[in-house]
Homo-oligomer: A and B are copies of this chain.
Amino acid sequence: MLNSVLVHSPATLSNLGCGFDVFGLALAAPYDTIRLTRSPEPGVRIQHLDGYNLPTEATRNVAGVALLMLLQEVPETIGFDVEITKGIKPGSGVGSSAASAVGAVVAANALLGNRFTKMQLVEFAMAGEVVACGARHADNIAPAIFGGFTVVRAVEPVLDIIALPAPPLWVAVVHPQIEVKTSDSRKVLPAAVPLGLAVRQWANVAGLVAGFLTADYNLIGRSLDDYIVEPARLPLIPGLAEARKRALAAGAIGGGISGSGPSIFMLNRTEETARAVGAALGSVFAELGIAFNVYVGPVGTEGARVVAE
């Protein structure tokens, strides 16, 4: 039986333009690295091997809460020692908390002989999201578990996740170092949407799913646009409109706000285009005098995975 595993758990894009609260896409990088070691001592002990000052008390740590949920379903008397090295900066809007929670439960499942289904792992990891942002949501958890493109059709009363393949795509993400609190980005959302606009939005949702499943890049590009959430959040992210403009000019297929921001993602056909688009995104924030990081990488076809024992 395995005693210790090392897991990489990737960043993810949620919302993905038009699919607010529903769509998710896994990246190949950046990722969090989780070392999980089985212990005869019950409970969960966490160490962070990074400089982010995240809470290490299990009940206040996303990975800790997810593991405590999982342990409730384990009859053996065991515990876990956890070492987390975050490769994904907290608060960037690319599923940082989801990556740590998912990495922890995927590692635990490997140590326990893979007794849990992926859907169960999503349930455990969602408990971590409640600690991170107060809501039981799966739009970053689902792609981090399944990889590729995911649709969270429902969380309640029954969790319903549709895991779909994504065609080869390169993603450029810029993370401007400004703080957008999830609570603020929720506050600006409209309570209600004109029916005509809702129809345009779900027409794009339909187009995006069809585009992914038929590998139609043009269709993906024209279906990404979000008529409802992005316009409301535009004032929270300086440079967004200009970043989109330059990214499209550099050859991006399309893009939008990643999750609740402040990161901005753009999808691209090739690595070369993605690198040019990453540079174009960065140039906007350089000019604004806002520090930023740029990530460029392929869509992740698999989610979190054991990379070493």
Contact = CB atoms under 8 A, between A and B. Distances in A.
A160 B199 contact: no
Contact of A195 (B19, B192, B206): B192
Interface residues of A, number: 39
Contact of A203 (B22, B190, B214): B22
- Taking the full assembly, how many copies of this chain does it contain? 2
B210 A162 contact: yes
Interface stretch (A57-65, A149-157, A172-180): A149-157
Contacts of A222: 153, 160
A132 interface: no
B153 A207 contact: yes
Contacts of A160: 207, 222
A199 B18 CA distance: 10
Interface string A285-306: 0000000000000000000000
B192 A194 contact: yes
Interface in A193-228: 193-195, 198-210, 213-214, 219, 222-223, 228
Interface of A: 18-23, 151-154, 160, 162, 164, 189-195, 198-210, 213-214, 219, 222-223, 228
18 contacts: A22-B206, A151-B203, A151-B207, A153-B204, A153-B207, A154-B200, A162-B207, A162-B210, A164-B210, A192-B193, A192-B194, A198-B228, A202-B205, A205-B205, A206-B206, A206-B209, A213-B213, A213-B214
